[in-house]
Structure 1
Amino acid sequence: MKKNAWNHPYCLTLFSLAAVLYGAGTAGAGIKADFQYMLSDFSGPIPSQWARLDVDRHFREIYTFKRGERQVQIFNENGMEIFAFELQDNAAMVTDMTVGDDGSIYLLANRGGTPAIITLDYRGEPQGRIELSGLPPAMDAFHSDRLVHRNNSFYLLDSTSLRIMEVNDSGTFKTLHRLGVQLQNMAAEQDRERKRTQGLEIGGFAVDDQGVIYFTVPVLFAAFRLNQAGILESFGRSGSGPGKFGVVSGIAGDEHGNIYVSDRLRSVVMVFDHNFEFLGEFGYRGHGEGNLIVPDDIAVDGKAGKIYVAQAANRGVSVFRLVFQ
């Protein structure tokens, strides 16, 4: 084993299982989500609690990381488990996982507060350790808790200090995005008593194939897009209706510029186009096939037209196929 709306020119093949859908946003625009299956083994759906997700875009495989159980699972394009392993290095605290362009598995590990990237093959065998180098002095207090690999670069997030660092494949420092001042100013505009500035923290975090960074800040009821030129854009409005933000969490972007945002409170995944126009949402709290229970991390395989959604309550990972109209 080796390891989107009226303006969209493409339409993905529909499968037969229709799930909850909602078409909204601009006139004539909309999206439909068909529930496909839960990630499973031969015994049935596999339970998990807010697993981390990533997609091997070349081999159409989905990887999950159960942080509490320190377990990595690999599923084929039909959602069946094909391999699983538990992490053996108990001395390192592993906080995240990502998949490389060649199918390698990368783990974000911290030993004594020093971050490093551990490389594994698809069977979980250690292949090496990438130490970060060339870091500026200010990086001594960088405590990364999220990791994404895209296009020969690693993106590391320190969610509490509101900083994102990019390094190359060998761990050499490339750039640092300091987002604290911008986010604190935004919080101050929303809350004159500055209560929100005390709880600022990045929630969902993702990077698309073009190097565009996406993230959410729940207390600001906002999602953000940071392009390669360093321009930060935001969208979102608090509320309980379609397209509004309750407690936003996971986020992802596809190759067409569509943005997907999960909401824990409303138990939906919302879809926006590249202009931040609301296209629709799906899920809703419940135990039916197409429902969601407190969704969190999401991963998108745009070429296959699939979105993977991790949930709470040991619900596991639901898979939907999307069609844009």
Structure 2
Amino acid sequence: MGNKLDIRAIFIMFLQFIIIISVNYAYANPSVNYMNNINTDEEDMRIRYPSFVYSERVKNEVYVIDGMGRIIIYTADLFPIITLDKRNDIDAPQGLTVDPDGYVYVIQGQSKAHSKCRISVYNPCLIWQRDIYVQGFKDCDKFIPYRIASDKHGRLYIAGSSYPGIIVTDNNGKYIETISPEENGKKAKIIDVKIDNEGKIYLVSEEESRIYVYDENKKFLLKFGEKGGSSGKLSRPVSVAIDDKKGLIYVDDYMRHTISIYDKTGKYLTEFGGLGWGEGWFQHPRDIAVDSSGRIFVADTFNDRIQVFETKE
């Protein structure tokens, strides 16, 4: 009787071991499946050279900026509902974020109508409220805003073209501090910034092929990424997105036409994509986003579309 119980216990332990191994293997080897693509606006006009994609976390609405200087907004089921353009004082959009109160902050570059870069603020009804001009910090006159993120307190985190680090402001653009990661004794230039549900801050350096991670108190946690042109390395990373539920980090490599996947410790897992024109292939993707359900949106710039994927473990 005792031997039978021992064998049974060993068998149960063996099954548990197999289950654990299977789960860990699946987690370490996520599979990515193509779902759909976005390529038209609400008037059935083609989007052109999309350079930015953003998923708002409450309604899962998707915001796309294309090469025609437009912001096209889609519902969670990817139905186009409205386009913001010059009629809404949108003429040179670069990036945007939506704060916890539903206000939309749009980074706009220089244009014929506006000689200075600005952050245009729109209320939840998409009505323009004001323009913000960031200032009050070293070399602010040379700062060219490019990407923006907001935290749960409404603070803004702004990355500028060729600027070492990012600046943090309140929701009125009042300067608070600068976050400047260092690499080989010099401050790294940051091209993208994202914030996850835990408040962790992710900074992308295209120049260094690195991603830097800070906690919500701006304490440095880790960095990952290795420069190179082969699988597992980064050539020109330009954007990052975080799947909080699955614990995955996606990095958009513009030059290798791929999306690299890492776990939350910065361990490389796999990649998908490559140069091409069909489903699941990219031509110089410029941006990436993940919505609250885990769908992945890739701005496939020179294929004139946003590709949508899902990850299964």
TM superposition score category, shorter chain reference:
0.7 to 0.9
Summarize deviations over 1:36-86 as a string: whole Å, max 9, x none: 1111447879433242121111101101122x4221111111222111121
CA shift for structure 1 position 309: 0.3
* Partner amino acid, structure 2, of 1:304: S
CA shift for structure 1 position 156: 1.2
Aligned-residue identity in percent? 22
C-alpha root-mean-square deviation of aligned residues, in Å?
Answer: 3.3
Equivalent residue, structure 1, for 2:11: none
Equivalent residue, structure 2, for 1:74: 73
Q: Does residue 1:223 correspond to 2:211, yes or no?
A: yes
* Residues 134-283 of structure 1: pairs in structure 2 closer than 5 A: 135-136=136-137, 139-151=140-152, 152-179=154-181, 182-183=182-183, 185=185, 201-227=189-215, 228-231=217-220, 233-256=222-245, 257-283=247-273
Give the TM-score taking structure 2 as reference length: 0.78
**Which moved further from structure 2: 25-34 or 261-270?**
25-34
* Residues 60-71 of structure 1: pairs in structure 2 closer than 5 A: 60-66=60-66, 68-71=67-70
Say which SS state the counterpart of residue 145 (structure 2) adopts: coil
CA gap of 1:164–1:221, structure 2 versus 1, over 3 A, is closer
Say which SS state the counterpart of residue 207 (structure 2) adopts: helix
Q: Which runs of 5+ in 2 are unaligned?
A: 1-18
Structure with more of its chain in helix, by fraction: 2
Q: 1:171 and 1:75 mapped to 2: Cα distance? A: 28
Aligned residues: 286
Kept in 2, the 8 Å contact 1:38–1:45? The answer is no
CA shift for structure 1 position 213: 2.1
Summarize deviations over 1:106-149 as a string: whole Å, max 9, x none: 1124677755432224664312334557x346645433222222
CA shift for structure 1 position 220: 2.2
* Residues 75-154 of structure 1: pairs in structure 2 closer than 5 A: 75-88=74-87, 94-109=93-108, 116-121=118-123, 124-130=126-132, 132=134, 135-136=136-137, 139-151=140-152, 152-154=154-156
Larger Rg: 2
Q: 2:116 and 2:126 mapped to 1: Cα distance? A: 22
Equivalent residue, structure 1, for 2:10: none
Kept in 2, the 8 Å contact 1:202–1:215? The answer is yes
* Partner amino acid, structure 2, of 1:225: V
Say which SS state the counterpart of residue 313 (structure 1) adopts: helix
Q: Which runs of 5+ in 1 are unaligned?
A: 1-6, 12-24, 188-199
CA gap of 1:110–1:274, structure 2 versus 1, over 3 A, is same
* Partner amino acid, structure 2, of 1:83: I
Kept in 1, the 8 Å contact 2:65–2:94? The answer is no
Say which SS state the counterpart of residue 308 (structure 1) adopts: strand
* Partner amino acid, structure 1, of 2:308: V
Say which SS state the counterpart of residue 238 (structure 1) adopts: coil
Say which SS state the counterpart of residue 281 (structure 1) adopts: strand
Q: 2:86 and 2:203 mapped to 1: Cα distance? A: 28
CA gap of 1:127–1:218, structure 2 versus 1, over 3 A, is closer
Q: Does residue 1:38 correspond to 2:37, yes or no?
A: yes
Kept in 2, the 8 Å contact 1:65–1:97? The answer is no
CA gap of 1:314–1:286, structure 2 versus 1, over 3 A, is closer
Q: Does residue 1:292 correspond to 2:292, yes or no?
A: no
Q: 2:260 and 2:122 mapped to 1: Cα distance? A: 34
